[in-house]
Amino acid sequence: MPVYAFKGVNEAGRSTRGFVDAESARAARVKLRRDGVFLTELAENSGAAAAVDPGSERGSRRIQLPTLRRVPPLELALATRQLATLLGAGVPLLSALSALTEQVEHAHLKSVLGGVRDRVNQGASFADSLAGSGAFPDLYIALTRAGEAGGALEQVLARLADYLEGQVRLRNRVVSIMIYPALMFAFACVVVAILVTVVLPQITTLLESLNAELPTATRAIIAMSYFARDWWWAVLAALAALGFGVRTFIATEAGRTGFDRLKLRLPVVGRTVRLLAIARFTRTLSTLLSGGLPIVRALEISKHVSNNRILARAIDAARESVTEGAPLARPLRASGEFPPVVIHMIEVGEQSGELETMLERVAHSYEEQVETAVTRLTALLEPILILLMVAIVVFIIAATLLPLLQVTSSLGA
C-alpha cells in the first residue's frame, strides 16, 4: 500500500505533518480529513524517502532519495549528545527531535532526523523510527530500544554519546599520526616519477650520443625511463585491474577471512590490528551491557565492530557457549585469539559482577596501546621512507653520471 507524506493543520489550528498509508492520494485525503487534518501538501513517499522541507517558506515540497549512506560518526555523536541534553532538561522526545532537526547543519543527518521525527509523530517508538531510517548502526538502535524499555533513554543516549565520541577521538588520533608518513611516501613517489619521466629522457640523449659502452645500471635506468614514458598508461591500467581484482576477492567470504587472518599475522602491523579490534570489541560490549542489553544480544552486536572475521568467529563461538550457560572467559580463552590479560580481566569482572567496568578498563588500556604502537610504527617509517627516497635518487644520479665521468677520464688520459 502506498505511503504519503502530508503537511496540514489540525482542528486546534496547529501545524502538523507525518505519514499516512492509503490506496490512493484521494483515499489519503479522505482519511486525514476524517482525522481532523486540513491538508496543505500531500506527496507519495516512496521508500520512506519523501519529506517536506521544514525550512521552506514557500511551502514547496522536496522529494529526497532513499538513504544510501550512514550518518558520519562525528555528526551522530554531536546529535546524540544534544538529544540527551534536551531530554535531560525535561523536553519531550518529539519536541526534542524537532529542535534537533532544526539546529543540525549536516544535510543528510537533518533529513534522517526529520524522517525519525515524523515516524515518532505517527506513534512509532523511537527505536523503531531509527531502524526505519536505515541510517543508524545496530548498536545504536539496540541501546535505544533498551533505554526506552527501561525508562532510561536519557542515560542510554549519554552513554552512546560517550562511546561515539571516544571512537571518533581514537580514529582521529590514528589518522593524524599516519598523515605525515603518507605525505612523505606520496612526495617520494612524485620525485621519482619526475626523475624517471622528465629528467632522465633529457640525459638519455646525451648518454646515447657518447657512442660508448654504458654500464649495466645506466642501461637499466634508460630502459626504465623509456618504459615509464611509453607505457605509463598500461602500468596504471594494470594497477587498477589488480586493485579491482583484490577488492573483488576480499569481498568474498573466503577472501575476507584470508585477508583478516593475514592482517593478524603480519610482523609489526598485526599486533596493532589485534589491539585495535579488541579495543573496539571491549568498548562496545561494555557500552551495551551498561545500557541494559542481555549479554547474548550484546555479543551478537559487538562481534561486528571488531572488523575482523577471525575475531568475529571467536566472539560468535563465545556467544553460543554463553547461551548454553558457560562463562564468557572460557570460550574466549579456547579460541586463542585474545591475550591472557583480556581473559583474566573478563574472569575477574564475571566473578565480581563488574564485567562492564573491567571491559571498559581493557578498552581504555588497549586504546592507549594502539596509539603508542601507531606512533612507534610511524616513527620507524619516517627514516625508512627518507632513506629509501635518498637511495633511489642517489642510484639514478650515479647511474647517469658514471658514464659521463668515464668519458671525461678517458679524454683526460
Q: What are phi and psi of 200, to 5 degrees?
A: -60, -40
- Asked if 93 and 26 sit in the same domain, the reply is no
36-40, 286-290, 326-330: which range is least confident on average?
36-40
If asked whether residues 107 and 142 sit together in one domain, one would say yes
pLDDT at 119 over 80: yes
Which domain does 57 fall in, by range?
A: 3-63
Amino acid of residue 352:
S
Q: What is the pLDDT of residues 147-157, one digit of tens each?
A: 777 677 888 88
Same domain, 119 and 46: no
d(CA 127, CA 155): 15
C-alpha cell at 52: 517536506
Quick one: CA dihedral 111, 115, 120, 125, positive or negative?
negative
Q: What percent of the chain has pLDDT over 70?
A: 84
Question: Which of 349, 401, 397, 374 is closest to 171 using CA atoms?
Answer: 374
State whether residue 143 is helix, strand or coil: helix
Q: Read off the C-alpha cell for 306.
A: 571488531
Q: Are residues 308 and 281 in the same domain?
A: yes
* pTM of full prediction above 0.75: no
Mark whether 58 and 17 lie in a shared domain: yes
- Same domain? For 78 and 160 the reply is yes
Residue found under cell 507519495: 44
Q: Which CATH number covers residue 112?
A: 1.20.81.30
- How does 284-300 read in b/e, with b if 16+ C-beta sit within 10 Å? bbbbbbbbbbebebbbb
Same domain, 358 and 285: yes
pLDDT digits (tens, 9 = 90+) for 69-83: 567 788 888 888 888
**Amino acid in the structure at residue 295:** I
C-alpha cell at 286: 561494555
Confirm whether 47 is domain-assigned. yes
Q: Which of 366, 381, 405 represents a domain boundary (last residue)?
A: 366
Q: How many CB atoms lie within 10 A of CB 222?
A: 19
* H-helix or E-strand spanning residue 349: helix 340-352
